[in-house]
Structure 1
Amino acid sequence: MSEIAERYERITRQFTDRVRSVAAGAWDNASPCEGWTARDIVGHLTEWIPGFFGAQGVQFPEVPSVQDDPVAAWETVQAKIAKALADPALAGQPVETPFSTQSLAETVDMIVTGDVFTHTWDLARATGQDEALDSDHLQRMLAAVNSMPDEALRADGMFGPRIDVSGDADDQTRFLAYVGRRA
């Protein structure tokens, strides 16, 4: 398994655990993402990932409705990306992103894994679950967001406005504040 595939597996496992643990009545709970419910978080991921990669020629199976079965919807999308990362030809396929042309694996690593990582906290907060994020990936994400121009991160509402936190805030609180979340 490649380093990228391993990282994707580790981060999506944490999200998958949260998805599987949402209580039946909690799917409509408000999330930290303004105007979104817990179900909407899963819907966001299960819509944009197949849409984006489908436009790049990656065929996705029929994704179950997030309204009917958010767990099955997420598991279908997660498994397809994992399968793509396990196929060297597909993982190496060039993908056009708003930032550059890179391999499918690099695109998953840069965009998908980061989005899933951030939304793991959102889903946990919305549904009263463990909010701790993977500490190794947290360091990677902090370095990434600190290296990007603020305008690029906030364009098109990708992240909310940065929230000020105390100088002694822990790394997770600092990361969440950077991407517009109050921990």
Structure 2
Amino acid sequence: MGEIAERYRRRAEVFERKVAAVQPDQWRNQSPCAKWTALNVLEHVIEMHGVMLKPVARKLEPADDPLTAFQEARAAVEDVLDDPILALTETDTPAGRMTAEQQIDQVISDDLVLHGWDLARSTDQDETIDPVDIERLWSKAIAISPELMEKYRTPGALRAGVEVYGPEVAVPPDAPLQDRLLGLLGREP
């Protein structure tokens, strides 16, 4: 198993445990994303899994409940990562041409970390992010040019209805790195 597949599996396992721990009445809880409930966060994650499957001619089928929907999306992505031909299939993305596994790593694998925090916050679960993931996401976030970061913060700049990050939230410079990462990406730690 490659590094990308391993990272995705580890993050998906943590995310799945959070999904499984959500009580039925908590799906309507407000998430840290202003326009989304806890269920909307999960629906977004599943939708983005579907987007990652399109370049390899795969699609997700509707599921009966939130946990099953995520498990099926996860299994479909893991199937792609386990198939060398599919994983290395190249496609054009908003960030340029890349393989399916690279796009999975840059989009949904990272989303599992950040939206895992959103889901935990909105459903009263442990909000601690793995320090390895914090370091990786921090390095990537601070490398984003100010112009591109502004585009990511502008609703609809990438496509209609999409806002990647909210406005930056001020966090003390000596705050823990998790808090600084969340603030930079528009969350109130």
**Structure 1 length as normaliser, TM-score?**
0.93
| Deviation at residue 115 of structure 1 after TM alignment | 1.2
1:148 aligns to what?
144
Listed as ranges, the matches of 1:92-171 within 5 Å are 92-149=88-145, 150-155=149-154, 156=156, 157-171=163-177
User: What count of residue pairs does the alignment treat as equivalent?
Assistant: 179
Q: Is the 8 A contact 1:19 1:71 kept in 2?
A: yes
Residues in 2 aligned to 1:180 and 1:4: alpha-carbon distance in whole angstroms:
26
Q: Is the 8 A contact 2:52 2:100 kept in 1?
A: no
| Deviation at residue 153 of structure 1 after TM alignment | 3.1
| Deviation at residue 59 of structure 1 after TM alignment | 1.0
| Deviation at residue 61 of structure 1 after TM alignment | 4.1
Distance verdict in 2 for CA 1:153–1:17, change over 3 Å: same
Distance verdict in 2 for CA 1:177–1:134, change over 3 Å: same
Q: Deviations over 1:72-99 (max 9, x none)?
A: 1111111110111011110000021101
- Identity percentage over the alignment? 34
Distance verdict in 2 for CA 1:111–1:51, change over 3 Å: closer
1:15 aligns to what?
15
Q: Is the 8 A contact 1:154 1:161 kept in 2?
A: yes
Residues in 2 aligned to 1:140 and 1:80: alpha-carbon distance in whole angstroms:
25
Q: For 1:49, give the aligned amino acid.
A: H
1:37 aligns to what?
37
| Deviation at residue 104 of structure 1 after TM alignment | 0.5
Q: Deviations over 1:137-182 (max 9, x none)?
A: 1101000010012224324321001111111110100110011000
Q: For 2:9, give the aligned amino acid.
A: E
**Runs of 4+, deviation exceeding 4 Å:** none
In structure 2, runs of 5+ residues without a counterpart are 157-162
| Deviation at residue 45 of structure 1 after TM alignment | 1.4
Residues in 1 aligned to 2:172 and 2:60: alpha-carbon distance in whole angstroms:
46
2:159 aligns to what?
none
Q: For 1:20, give the aligned amino acid.
A: A
Classify the secondary structure of the residue corresponding to 2:56: coil
Q: For 1:71, give the aligned amino acid.
A: L
Residues in 2 aligned to 1:13 and 1:170: alpha-carbon distance in whole angstroms:
24
1:179 to 2:185 alignment: yes
In structure 1, runs of 5+ residues without a counterpart are none
Distance verdict in 2 for CA 1:52–1:113, change over 3 Å: closer
2:160 aligns to what?
none
Classify the secondary structure of the residue corresponding to 1:96: strand
Q: Is the 8 A contact 2:81 2:87 kept in 1?
A: yes
Q: Deviations over 1:5-45 (max 9, x none)?
A: 00001111111110001012111111001121111111111
